[in-house]
Each structure stands twice: as structure tokens, then as C-alpha cells.
A and B are shown apart, each in its own frame.
Chain A
Amino acid sequence: MPDNPLDRGQHVEVLRITDLSKFYMMGEVRVDALKHISLEFHAGELAVLLGASGSGKSTLLNIIGGLDVPSSGKLFFHGREITAATEAELTAYRRRSIGFVFQFYNLISSLSALENVQLVTEIADNPMKADEALRLVGLGNRLNHFPAQLSGGEQQRVAIARAVAKRPELLLCDEPTGALDFQTGKLVLDVIEKVNRELGTTTLVITHNASIAGMADRVVRLRSGELSEDRQNLTRMSPSELVW
């Protein structure tokens, strides 16, 4: 069973979001993706961001990860304002502090599992060994397989290995099980939970699947770009106990 979140230094603030809004143009249509969001996340926390498709959760994640900039509002990482960072500072932020896991894995199809992870270890400051990261996600025996030779779950685990290999402070997972079946999905969540527990990485998991919320310390819900719920789970469930 996971230990009490209060014992894991949760009070150290990693991320603070204040009055954040974002709209963008999709063709000729204006989409208001986020409206006046304010949130904080703390060290070691495993949070699940719930919301239906189009609720703005991916946009929020992209802004947190420095992939996107808000239309208004501010974002602080360890007190430093990310929303005021230059392009080069943003690149360094992503390179040092952020690990990404995407719904469609987004592996480079022309690189093997090991090479996909090396893509990160190559440029990170204090990375794990690439094969070590793959062993952590249970793929020690699939190092030289290409994405096309791996199942969806395996590909997602390579993506997680790629994300954690740099020892990021913040792991951002965008619908990590969205393209996977139930069993494989649970296996992937297991790995995410393990990384959070063993490495103490602050982890944000985005999903539309409310059942996943049970594994989190904290659940944040978005609806039409607005914050509709923010609660703490008293206990975290193990992903293997989840049902959907």
C-alpha cells in the first residue's frame, strides 16, 4: 500500500498556476481551451487530471510542460516564472525538468527502443542509463526492437522509460492508456505508479477515465476549460485494483 502522502514532503510546492487562460484558432474557429485556472502541485504528488474530451486538460498539460504558452495568466516552476521564459530557457526547462508520455506514444519509428531512450539520455544532465530505464519499465529484453515490433503497451512503456530516463522532476502523462486495452493499460499505470513511488517524481496523469482517479493522491477535474473539482484521495489504490 502507498504510504501517507503527508509524509512525503508534499508541502514543497513544485508548480503554481495562477489565473491561466488559453484560446487558440482552429481553422476559422476560436476555441477557448482554458479559462482562469489556478492550481498548485507539490513534490512527489501523483495527481490525476480528469476531464472529458475537449475539456482543456491536454492544453493545460502542454502549458505546464513548456510546449505551449498561455494567452494570459502565469505558471511558476519552483518559483521561477515559466510563462516569462525565453525559447532557449523553455528548451532547457523541458530538457532538465520535464518528462512527457503521450497517448500515441510518439516513438520515433526509425529508432529502436534503446535508441528512443538514448535520444533523451544523450542530452540530459544526469540521466540513468538507457537500458536501466527500460529495465525499470520491464523491457530489459526488448532493447533492440523497433516500435513496429512492439505491442501498444510495450511502446507506451518505452515512452515512459524515455520520459523518466532523464530523472525529471515532473512527469506529465497525456492519456497514457488512451490507446490501450484494459489489461495493458493497467500494466502501464503500474509502471507510472512505480516511477512515482520509487523515484519520487511529481506525476500528472491526464485522463478522461474516472476510474484511474483511484490511484492518485489528488484528483483535479476540468470541465469546458474550467476547474470543476480539486480533491485529495485519502488512500491511493494500486493500479491492479482499478476496474473500468
Chain B
Amino acid sequence: MKPLHRKLLRELMRLKGQMLAVAAVVACGISVFVSMSSVKHSLEVSRQRYYNRYRFADVFVQVKRAPEFYRETVSRIPGVASVSTRITADVILDVPGLDEPATARLVSIPEYRTPVLNDLFLKKGRYIEPGKPEEVIASKPFLEANHLVPGDRISAVINGRKRSLLIVGMGLSPEYIYEVQPGSFFPDKRRFGVFWMGRRSLESALDMSGAFNDLSLTLAHGASEKDVIMRLDNLFKRYGSLGAYGRSEHLSDRFIVDEIKQVGIQITFLPVVFLAVAVFLLNIVLRRIVATQRDQIAVLKAIGYSNEDVGLHYLGFAMIPTAFGAVVGTLLGAWLGRGLMNIYAEFYNFAELVYYFRFEDVALSVLLSFAAAIFGALGAVRKAVLLPPAEAMRPDSPALYKPGLFDRESLRKKIPVSLRIIVRNLERRPWKAALSVLMISLSVAILIAGRYTYDSLDRMVQVEFTQKHREDVTVIFNNPMPPSVRFNIASLDGVIEHEYYREEPVKMSFGHRVRRQSIKGMESAEGLQRLIDKANRQLTLPQDGILLTSTLAELLGVRPGDKLQVDFLQGRQRHTQLLVSGTIDEILGLSAYMNLGALNRLAGDGGALNAAYLRLDQAKAGKLYTKFKDMPGVSGIMMLKAMKQSFDELIAQSMNTSTVILTSFACILAFAVVYNGARISLSERARELTSLRVLGMTKGEISFILLGEQALLTLAAVPLGFLIGIGLSALLAHALSSELYRLPLVFSAFNFLFAFLVIVLVSVVSAILVRRRLTGLDLVEVLKTRE
């Protein structure tokens, strides 16, 4: 090994604390980049493969009931590649071991296995046998959550008749990668499952022979989805279609596409922050190295080393820790990525969720980190290269201090010398001080942003599960019920409060903008369901007119006071104009709310109800649940508590993981910045501080001068960090928001307190480490050596 290389390695070892801090920051940035890039790629590839292999459809349409021959008609539409028809129905299940009723979506499959669209991936067991109408294949999450296996039986109420079903297989489908009950946002694996059943047996059970109620198709290459949807809508309007839609409106696909998009945002934002801090750290560390090695640089040049030799040597001080950080970051990133994929596997039901670790991601990350290293080292290396050898032999001329802000006669007397030294030092290099403050504040900001999602989800849970919904269960009717259903429900023993709503599918248009949407007609907004926006404010339900979710209003381009064109898609299919009376900034989904009476008048059919919110007497709930299990008019039950629980388990768990990762990374970042700042200060001021000791100052007093400066910088960074953190969170909230949900921008006091405490802790630890070095300084040695 060449002597210069040896010098480099030995000196890196001597500075290992600082170098490790730099490497750790690089490692954090790289690991986020590598893990997120590979997760994004893995999700994309897994999704695409799943869709291709199991023929996920491009366009979907649901109807009340249409004759089977329309399959032929649809397949002749230009641009349509293949068509499948099915029968689907939501039914109530009696799951062994579960008090409450569960809901199943029955989906028909051919009696003999043939390739169809949205095909089944058989994970376990076997396919159904023809002529055995009780056989079903059930979805994997549902079976696993209920500890059921092929061979078990389960009973269901199909079309008013209770039937015993035999589970013969466990399956998955690309349609239900995100498996949620219709009308719900969060998966409840125990209480909702998809059941695939023979077409014939479902036809006979639902009196649907020769007919279908669900059609999906794939498009030929280059076909226009819009044109096909328009033709489908014309064809099926009279069969009760609520409008055909493409993949982009398919709930399951929407969730996955959103997820992939969000992962993409994290790829860009976090590594940028970490690499920026790495650039800063390398800059200050290298500048200090070059400053302390002025005479060595001179010697190397005097001996005959060229400027390139010297420059490359000092660049090595940046490249080696960066390379080390990149290697560790890549390994950590691969490990994190795999772990994240396991979390995704809990959440999304892929037939095969493979983790793809890509060389390109590593190459790009290494390139990025080296670019950061070079960028960070540039100033110091330039200084080393340009340093004229003779000048390097002379000691640095004394730093220029001038009377500053705190040197006015009146103030001077009040401020002790040690504090004056601190202030002058900061004043002398305001840019350096400002940059240090900025870097520390970035770690505060990441702490804030990391815990922000936590607070935001907390608010989401609070609003959605406590403030907005106060019912115990939602009972969904399989057909619209007349108002008299109230009496039936009220007569049930154990129902304390009941409230009803109507959901009316419509086409809304404003100018050239059109959306399919359902209007929810509510009896009241003060009872079991309330209108709560994401800031946790309660809104009132307008008597006339319509209240839209802000996002929906934006999509339609309407403002309160505008007139919206509305076409009802069911019943008499009336056309009407509705006044937009206001908007509500809700957390979940897109909604349009109206007063039930007003909606009934407009839709014009006496008043049909789709579902009931019930508050139950918990002592009698068990008996009620048993009753629901046998009720022919009920197609589904949603339990608020169960949804909250599954939300806590699934989403909160994955959020907790990312919060823990972010928090630890922010701690590393904070430590790296604070510790390096203090070490560099120590190195710059060792002589001066030791001289003060020789003059009679105590160890405590010189520690105060050195650490006081760091403390001042840290304290200044806290409020700035809070501000940047809030900004960063707002940016995140904006970037992560979609039509599906919008993160409320809320911060708990604990979030700020936590960030503050972490920074204080990190500062104290680095202060202890630096103080040990400071008090260990040999008075004579330090004064003897030339600066």
C-alpha cells in the first residue's frame, strides 16, 4: 500500500467517530432509497404479473340483471378483446366461532375450470366439482383470519334461504388484491370474504338462469376505453347499470396504484434530505481536516506531490466513509425492503408478491452518494489544491474579529466573558452558524414529519370511528326498503337508536366535467352519523341543496352556490339541478350529502332506504346478531369496532414501522450533525480553550464556552425545525393525498415535545462525548504544537 493511502486510512481511523457519523447519514439516505425503489419496483412488477397471468379486466360494469346473449353483443364492440359475464351477490354468513354475522361476496365461476377474466389463483385445496352446488372456494385472508381450512363448512343466507356451503379451496383474485367490503374503506378479514361458487348453483339460488349481473372485459391494444365505456352505458342503461368504469376506478387497483405512488414520493423526498445533510457534514469535516493539515499539505507539495495527488488524497476522506455508508445503506435497504414487502403482503393479497432487488437501484444510489461526497468535499479539496505551499507553511493568520452586536458598552458589562466568546464566535461566521442550525433543524423536521403521520392517523381514527360514526353496526339491505322498515327494526329487542340513509347513484356534471357518484341522503347529521371534517369540526346538513367533499368539488370544478346537473341512474332516472350548498373537507373518499327528505322528493319514489345505523344494547347484541344472520333482507353488516380494530392492526402497524424507522433515522441525523459540529469546534478551539485553562479557567468554564455554543445552535434549530417539519408534513400530506383519502394536517403537542426531547438527548450525549475529549486535553502538548 502506498504511504499516502496508509496516511488516509490511519487518519480516518483516528476520526472514526466523525466519519462513522457521516457514513451513518449516507447509509440512512441510501437505505431509504434502495428499499423504497426496490419496493416500488417489486409492487409494480408483482401487480403487472398478477394482472397478466390472471387476466385482470380493463373495464367493468354491474347491472341488475341482463340476458346472457349480451355477452356476444359486447364482444362485437370494436376494441373489446375478451368478455366474461358473472353473477355476484353479497350475502350474510354465519362463521363458526364468530358471534356477529359476516358478509360474503359470492362470485360465480365456470363449473369446469376454463380461463376467464379476473381468474382465480388456487392457493390450496381444489377447484369446485360440477354438480356439487354446495362447493365453494373462499378467499385466503378470510379463511386465515377465521382459522378455516378446505373441508370446513359454513352457512350462508342466499336469497332468503339458509344454505350450508362446503369450502373446497382457498383462492385469490387480482380483483381483490385489496379486499374490502363494498362501502367500506378498511379491510376486516374476519367479517368479509370473497366466495367463488359454480355459476349454475348461483344461477339457481338467485333465479338468474340465462342472465348475469356483472360483466368485465379486456381491451384490444390501442382501443379507447372511453368509447367502449360509452357503448356499454348505452347498452346496459335499461338493465340497471350504474355506469361502466375502467381500472382507474376499480377500488382494489386504486389502492395499489396509490400505494405505489406514495412509495415513489418517499424515494425522492427522504434521500434528498439525508444526502443534503451528508454534503454539509462532509463539507465541514473536510474543511477542518484541510485546515489542520495545512503544514502536511505543504510538505507533500514541497516533496513533489502534484496538486492532483493532494486533491485526490483529501477527496479520499470523503469517498471512503461515503462508500462505507453506501455499502451499509444498500445492505440495510435490501433488508428493510424485504421487511416492508412482508408488511405489504399482510395488507395486499397478491398471488405472488416477490421482492425484486435491482442492481440499477444500487448503482444509482452509489452514484448519488458519490456525487454527494464529491460535492461536499469540493470546497475543502479545492482549498487543499490551491493552497500555495509556502503559505501553507505559515500559520493561518489570526481570525478577524470585529466588535459585534453584543459589544456595545452598555451590554458588554452585563455579559460574562465566556458568553461573549460564544456570541463573537457565532457572529464571526454567521453562515456557518446558520448552516449548522439549518442542518440540526432538518433532523428536527424529519422527527416531526415522521410522527406527523402518526398524529394524522390518530385524528383519522378519532374522526372516522368516534366522531363521525357513533353507531355500533351498519345493516345494509340487499334491496332498497320502504320507510316502513323502521318499524321492523324498532321492534327488534336490543336496538337503542336507529337511523337510516339512502344511497342514490347519480351522474353529476358541471360544464364538461362528469363523475359517477352516489348521493347519500341522511335523516340527520346530529344523530348516529355526523358530518365531521378533517379538522374535527362538525358541519350541519343543508335542508336543500347538496354538500360535497372538497375533493369532489375540486374534481367537478364547482364552488358553493354553483348549480350541479344531476342524472339519477336508478328508478325513474330523473334529471335535476342541484345547488351546491357547501363543501366538507373529509378524510376518506368522495361523498355527496343531502337531506333524506329532499333526496326522496328529487328521486321521486316514495323514499327507499339502503341501510340502517344501529346503536345496540350490548347485553342483547349477541341475540340480535343471531337474528341478523337469518334475515333475508340483509346483505351485509359492518361493525365499527371491528373495523377500528382491523385498522389499528393493519394500517397502524405498518405506520408504526415507518414511524420507528424515520424516528431512528432522524436521531442518527441529529446525532451526526450535533456531534460533528461539536467535534469540529473542539478541534478549532482546542488551543484557545487550553490557553484559557492555563490562565486559570476551570474545566467547567471552558466546557461552557464550547458546549454553550453548540447548545445555542441546537436551541435555535428547534423552532426552525418545528416550522420546517410542519412544512414538510404539509407537503407529505398533499403528496400522499388521493381521491381515496386525505391525511389531516394535525400535530399533537407530544410530537413537538418528542422531537425536542430527542434533540436534547442527542445533544447531551454528544456533549458528554466531546467534553470527555475536552477535559482530557494535555495542556502542555496542545500549547506546544503549532496550529
Asked whether A119 and B3 contact (CB < 8 A) given A67-B301, A67-B393, A110-B14, the answer is yes
A95→B300 CA distance, assembly (Å) = 10
Closest residue to A28 on the B side, CB-wise? Answer: B400
Could you tell me how many residues of chain A have their Cβ less than 8 Å away from some Cβ of chain B?
35
Of A26, A59, A110, the residue contacting B11 (CB under 8 A) is: A110
Taking the closest CB of chain B, its distance from the CB of A114, in whole angstroms, is 9
A98→B306 CA distance, assembly (Å) = 14
Taking the closest CB of chain A, its distance from the CB of B780, in whole angstroms, is 14
Asked whether A106 and B298 contact (CB < 8 A) given A91-B306, A92-B304, the answer is yes
Of the candidate stretches A11-19, A47-55, A120-128, the one touching chain B is A120-128
A213→B416 CA distance, assembly (Å) = 53
A110→B393 CA distance, assembly (Å) = 19
Taking the closest CB of chain A, its distance from the CB of B769, in whole angstroms, is 22
Contact yes or no, B3 A111, CB < 8 A:
yes
In the complex, chain A residues 55-114 whose Cβ is within 8 Å of any chain B Cβ: 58-59, 62-63, 65, 67-69, 87-88, 91-92, 94-96, 98, 100, 102, 104, 106, 108, 110-111
Most buried by B among A63, A92, A108, A122: A108
Asked whether A111 and B295 contact (CB < 8 A) given A94-B304, A104-B786, the answer is no
A122→B389 CA distance, assembly (Å) = 20
Contact yes or no, A88 B306, CB < 8 A:
yes
Of A59, A111, A119, the residue contacting B303 (CB under 8 A) is: A119
Closest residue to B296 on the A side, CB-wise? Answer: A108
Of B2, B10, B303, B393, the residue contacting A162 (CB under 8 A) is: B303
In the complex, chain A residues 161-176 whose Cβ is within 8 Å of any chain B Cβ: 162, 166
Of B11, B303, B309, B390, the residue contacting A68 (CB under 8 A) is: B390
B-contact 0/1 string along A186-221, CB 8 Å cutoff: 000000000000000000000000000000000000
Closest residue to A59 on the B side, CB-wise? Answer: B390
Contacts of A118 in B (CB 8 A): 3
Taking the closest CB of chain A, its distance from the CB of B400, in whole angstroms, is 7
In the complex, chain B residues 383-440 whose Cβ is within 8 Å of any chain A Cβ: 388-391, 393, 397-398, 400
Contact yes or no, B397 A27, CB < 8 A:
yes
Contact yes or no, A67 B388, CB < 8 A:
yes
Asked whether A100 and B11 contact (CB < 8 A) given A62-B393, A115-B6, the answer is no
Contact yes or no, A122 B6, CB < 8 A:
no
Of B10, B304, B391, B400, the residue contacting A95 (CB under 8 A) is: B304
B7 CB–A CB distance under 8 Å: yes
B768 CB–A CB distance under 8 Å: no
A156 CB–B CB distance under 8 Å: no
Asked whether A115 and B3 contact (CB < 8 A) given A67-B301, A102-B393, A110-B11, the answer is yes
A116 CB–B CB distance under 8 Å: yes
A91→B308 CA distance, assembly (Å) = 11
Asked whether A120 and B304 contact (CB < 8 A) given A26-B397, A110-B11, A111-B6, the answer is yes
Contacts of A124 in B (CB 8 A): 304
B112 CB–A CB distance under 8 Å: no
B335 CB–A CB distance under 8 Å: no
A166→B393 CA distance, assembly (Å) = 21
Contact yes or no, B296 A106, CB < 8 A:
yes
Taking the closest CB of chain B, its distance from the CB of A125, in whole angstroms, is 10
Contacts of B300 in A (CB 8 A): 119
Contact yes or no, B390 A108, CB < 8 A:
no
Contacts of B389 in A (CB 8 A): 62, 67-68
B146 CB–A CB distance under 8 Å: no
Contact yes or no, B295 A94, CB < 8 A:
no
Contacts of A69 in B (CB 8 A): 388
Closest residue to A159 on the B side, CB-wise? Answer: B299
Contact yes or no, B6 A110, CB < 8 A:
yes
Asked whether A102 and B304 contact (CB < 8 A) given A110-B14, A119-B3, the answer is no
Closest residue to A61 on the B side, CB-wise? Answer: B390
Closest residue to B1 on the A side, CB-wise? Answer: A115
Would you list 19 pairs from A and B whose C-beta atoms are within 8 A, ordered by A residue? A26-B397, A58-B393, A59-B390, A67-B389, A67-B393, A91-B301, A91-B304, A92-B304, A95-B304, A100-B299, A102-B299, A104-B295, A106-B295, A106-B299, A108-B7, A110-B6, A120-B303, A123-B303, A162-B303
- Beyond A91-B307, A119-B300, 19 additional contacts (C-beta under 8 Å) are A26-B397, A62-B390, A62-B393, A65-B302, A68-B389, A68-B390, A68-B391, A87-B307, A91-B301, A91-B306, A98-B304, A106-B296, A106-B299, A111-B10, A119-B4, A120-B303, A122-B4, A123-B303, A123-B304
Task: Name A residues whose Cβ lies closer than 8 Å to a Cβ of B.
Answer: 26-27, 58-59, 62-63, 65, 67-69, 87-88, 91-92, 94-96, 98, 100, 102, 104, 106, 108, 110-111, 115-116, 118-120, 122-124, 162, 166
